[in-house]
Structure 1
Amino acid sequence: MKYIINYILLAVLAVFLLTNTAFAQFKKTILFVPHDNRPISFHQTVDNIRALGYNVITPPENLIGNRDDLGHPEELADWVLKNAYKADYAVLSSDALVYGSLVASRKHDLTIATCQKRAQNAFDELHQKYPYLPIYVFSSIMRTPQTSAASSEEPEYYRVYGTSIARYTALLDKQEKDGLTGKEEKELKTLKAQIPAKDLQDWMLRRAGNFTVNKYLVDLVKNKDISYLILGCDDNAEYSQTDRERRLLDTYAGDINGENYQSVAGLDELALLMMTRAVNQMKGDIPFISVHYAEGTGGDTVPAYSNEKISASVKTHIKMAGGIEIPNDKRADFVLLVNTDKYGKTYAANELNNTITPHENTASFVDMAGKYIMQDKNVGIADIDFGNGSDNALMNMLWQKNYLSQLKAYAGWNTPTNSSGYTIGMGMLSSYANKEETMKMIVPRYLDDWFYQANIRQQVANKMDSFSGQGNYGDTMSRTAQAQNYAESLMNKAVEKYDFAKIFNNYNWDKLQVSFPWHRLFEADVIVPEKNK
């Protein structure tokens, strides 16, 4: 009898070990649907998670929206249903699953009923089929570009009336929140008369569809059909239609606001934050983050494209990713340093004032970074002094001090909140990473944000007219290959100038490639393979 009992116990133990071994392997898989196929939205974000050894399942790229093809939402939803059984977590863009892509969410001609039906088909069915799958959703609150210059991703009439529409709706928002002066009341009436009623109606109707979908997603969180929901405000301002809708949605969320639901300034960084949250959940960890700002306005800076202080966005991003902001550096798993302009301004990285000449607070900021690096802390820098690229003075000084290879996270791309959120996600992930894995995450940022966005981008733009064929900054057309080759030559010169082959010697620098996947100069895909691949 004793032997029989021992045999049974051994058999049970064997089944337990086998089950948990399979579970351990299965538990490292995230199913991810991005809101488009831009490098930062798609493969660069995915690469950060894969660098740590996690499996990320992504849809066939032909289903993901790009510049020319706005996406295939129904096919994407079907793909999710068929593949979710493989995943331990799902991180999904509602813009992709409802409209097809982020750009499609701004230009579609869908009825409100169709939008809501697609949301039901995508998320209701997923929860019903996989009731125990944690579903993290990120969605946009439709942006309000402040000028007509941002019209390439908006309806055609925005080229003419975009600035007026933005100002008109900003005044409506201010009227609701704070009231208008007599002068502003007159301006409001004048703008309403100037904007064609059919164009304004079209724009507001599309926004109504977006608002309805986001309310529905909030309901799904309340019903526990969605585990976590982030609403991101893309291209926002203190007074804007985007800000008004965010306010209404936050109020509608009620008790879940700040728990399983959160809204924040910024959007493109949310995918990495949600996947970081999934990794933290799988690790069973809650990272502690301490935050410090450059001298001057610092955390009170309200950066461009945002409607709130950067300190508020940072605090929210940390919470979204599953961490806690703490005041104690000693207990921090990651120290975030935010490079802000001393006077709270946000400049454009491709402007002439982005030189290597240090600003008033550059040296003190670099000294602060050096202090924490010498303490062997995991240090990351959110570089938001400039929008759409790095601060050249900061990067040059970090290079001179030999700090580039000692940082654990860095971002300086696109809007300031994109950069700060992305740095937070990367910094949390770096807590689980070795040196090689960290470099896989950070080297692409140096190449893209610093070399390309802050420098090479404008040099290529200035050269475009000398290339044969047709094309310009916004659409490279038949000049694409020439622009890529020129950008690649400039990138190689920068790599040589800053001795990257020596600093980051695990890469085949002679095989570096630069491409423009969206056929415009605003974003580039810079790829350099590792030596062992």
Structure 2
Amino acid sequence: MKILYIPLDERPCNFDYPQAIAKLQNNLELVVPPRSLLGVKKQPAKGDRLWDWIEVKISECQGAILSIEMLVYGGLLPSRLHQDSEELLRDRLDRISRLKEKYPDLLILASNLIMRSPSYNSSEEEPDYYEEFGERIFRWGWLQDKQQREGITEAETEELSRIDRELPAEYLQDYCQRRKQNLIINKQAIALVERGIIDFLSIPQDDCAIYGFTARDRQEVVKEISTKRLQKKINLYPGADEVGCTLLARICLQLRDIRRKIYLLYSSIYSEQIIPLYEDRPLGESLKAHILAVGGCLVSTPETADFILAVNTPGQVMQEAWDNPIKDLTYTTHRNLPFFVDRIATFLEEGKPVAIADVAFANGGETELVQLLDDFAAWDELLAYGCWNTSSNTIGTVLATAIIGIDASDRHAITTNKIYHLLEGWAYQTIVRMDLVKNYLPAIDASYYDFNGKEKEIHAEMKKRIYAVWEQTMHHSFLQWQWEIEIFSPWQRMFEIGLNLTVGDRIEE
């Protein structure tokens, strides 16, 4: 089975994660363009060269996973920065129609984000003016949306008036014009589903909130989907960088005409009701959407499930991973983590596959969970594990890994996948990253977003500390394996890293 894959951008989560999941199946080949065709951060991909590559490769593929952000704008960040005309954007999108006309039997799954609206000042991933006016642009959209939907208070009316005075009109006009164009592309993508060009469309929402620009656009998109009665072929839910993994699992299930049955195990009786950081709805509702998008279905008993999805959540209040080990009291009073891990260990002893979505914290994993799983000697038997960025990023990735890995016979590939996510999502994101930011980077005249030419030195320090964290924590797990890593920083910042990971049998000295 060959699947052509056009990622959202060139970062490891979009470029490497789906390829690592594909390696869990010997009969699955993911055909991926070289990174050099995908642009770099704010620099868009060369669309014509990418389409030339697609036209060469597509004839040997049974399906295609296409990022509309990549094909229409040149990538995720360019979708927030472009100055392209509506006519040009529509023409780029219409190339998908011409592809389907040439290959009518090709199964096409696509993704198209609703443009996000961050609530903070930073031009790292936004237009330059967002560095000074980002928070006010967000609040302007929030207050305008709330005012139209349910009204605002006198204090909020005064705040809106103040922002109107302070926010340069040309910046707001630029921002709103781009959102308008991107919303048109959202609707045109929906039209491609209606015409049968796209067989399934995921519309993830990156950093969504209850009110604001993104919520307003979402209302229009939902109306469009509902009016055209396309709810079965289009799913809209919180997420973004996991979507390549999600669609990979779905297309594999569709081509095999099967569904995977999933039983949910939560770490708290409150898990379903928690609204995760950076999302706009209860976690239980997001989980339903991700399971539907990936092509799975929920079952009410573990005996009838293909695998258990164990979801580790807060007790009530979600914090950032770098707050470990200082936790809100409800992580203990409203959750029993030892009981949760004992249930996991029991399922494993009974021969039930278990995958863990560790979403107790945002932007990393929970050290106490990692330790407990090591104490129970459960890591080697787990099917999958993830703990990175937002809860939806983690859930989508773990679901896809479990669905494709459930009948994999290669334990090496499964082990490599787990070790990767432990090293990057837990050891780096939770422990190493912020310690470096606070105590190491200032000493070498570098910062979170500016390595100041010290990449080699910083990567060496990252590597040393990741090894140390692993040695301090893992006493009973992966004892038959040894691993080596080389680190790279795709966008030259501390937010994420890429790992070139090699895992092999441990050689006893």
Same fold (TM over 0.5): yes
2:414 aligned residue: 438
Say yes or no: does 1:95 pair with 2:69.
yes
* 1:207-356 mapped onto 2 (5 Å cutoff): 207-254=179-226, 255-343=228-316, 345-351=317-323, 353=325
Whole-Å separation in 2 of the counterparts to 1:152 and 1:407: 37
Aligned residue among 178, 199, 203 for 2:175: 203
* 1:10-49 mapped onto 2 (5 Å cutoff): 28-49=1-22
Say yes or no: does 1:134 pair with 2:107.
yes
Q: Tell me: higher relative CO, structure 1 or 2? Use CA pairs within 8 A at least 6 residues apart.
A: 2
1:373 aligned residue: 348
TM-score under structure 1 length normalisation? 0.89
Describe the superposition over 1:462-483 as per-residue Cα deviations: whole angstroms up to 9, x where unpaired: 201223xx53111223111111
Whole-Å separation in 2 of the counterparts to 1:104 and 1:477: 24
Runs of 4+ off more than 6 Å: 355-358
* 1:447-486 mapped onto 2 (5 Å cutoff): 447-461=423-437, 462-467=439-444, 470-486=445-461
Assess, with a 3 A threshold, how the Cα gap between structure 1 residues 115 and 313 changes in structure 2: closer, same or farther. same
Assess, with a 3 A threshold, how the Cα gap between structure 1 residues 171 and 299 changes in structure 2: closer, same or farther. same
Whole-Å separation in 1 of the counterparts to 2:232 and 2:48: 30
Secondary structure, counterpart of 1:526 in structure 2: strand
Aligned residue among 41, 44, 61 for 1:70: 44
Aligned-partner residue type, residue 70 of structure 2 = A
Assess, with a 3 A threshold, how the Cα gap between structure 1 residues 295 and 486 changes in structure 2: closer, same or farther. same
1:426 aligned residue: 401
* Equivalenced residues, count: 499
Assess, with a 3 A threshold, how the Cα gap between structure 1 residues 477 and 76 changes in structure 2: closer, same or farther. farther
Consecutive unaligned residues of structure 2, counting only runs of 5 or more, are none
Aligned-partner residue type, residue 307 of structure 1 = D
Aligned residue among 120, 138, 144 for 2:117: 144
Aligned residue among 99, 113, 117 for 2:87: 113
1:183 aligned residue: 155
1:355 CA drift (Å): 7.3
1:352 CA drift (Å): 5.0
TM-score under structure 2 length normalisation? 0.93
Which of 363-372 and 101-110 deviates more? 363-372
Aligned-partner residue type, residue 62 of structure 1 = S
1:37 CA drift (Å): 1.2
2:97 aligned residue: 124
Whole-Å separation in 1 of the counterparts to 2:244 and 2:274: 24
Aligned-partner residue type, residue 449 of structure 1 = G
Whether the aligned pair in 1 keeps the contact of 2:374 and 2:477 (CA below 8 Å) is: no
Whether the aligned pair in 2 keeps the contact of 1:356 and 1:392 (CA below 8 Å) is: no
Aligned-partner residue type, residue 71 of structure 2 = L
1:438 CA drift (Å): 1.9
Whether the aligned pair in 1 keeps the contact of 2:109 and 2:199 (CA below 8 Å) is: yes
1:51 CA drift (Å): 2.5
Whether the aligned pair in 2 keeps the contact of 1:356 and 1:396 (CA below 8 Å) is: no
Whether the aligned pair in 1 keeps the contact of 2:263 and 2:299 (CA below 8 Å) is: yes
Asked which structure has the greater CA Rg, the reply is 1
2:135 aligned residue: 163
Describe the superposition over 1:492-519 as per-residue Cα deviations: whole angstroms up to 9, x where unpaired: 223333447x73356542x322222221
1:428 CA drift (Å): 1.4
Whole-Å separation in 1 of the counterparts to 2:159 and 2:472: 53
Aligned-partner residue type, residue 183 of structure 1 = A
Q: Percent of aligned positions with the same letter in both sequences?
A: 27
Whole-Å separation in 2 of the counterparts to 1:46 and 1:261: 24
Whole-Å separation in 1 of the counterparts to 2:296 and 2:269: 26
Secondary structure, counterpart of 1:175 in structure 2: helix
Aligned-partner residue type, residue 106 of structure 1 = R
Whole-Å separation in 2 of the counterparts to 1:301 and 1:451: 25
Secondary structure, counterpart of 2:355 in structure 1: strand
Whether the aligned pair in 2 keeps the contact of 1:74 and 1:118 (CA below 8 Å) is: no
Secondary structure, counterpart of 1:371 in structure 2: helix
Whether the aligned pair in 1 keeps the contact of 2:261 and 2:306 (CA below 8 Å) is: yes
Aligned residue among 41, 53, 56 for 1:79: 53
Whole-Å separation in 2 of the counterparts to 1:44 and 1:475: 26
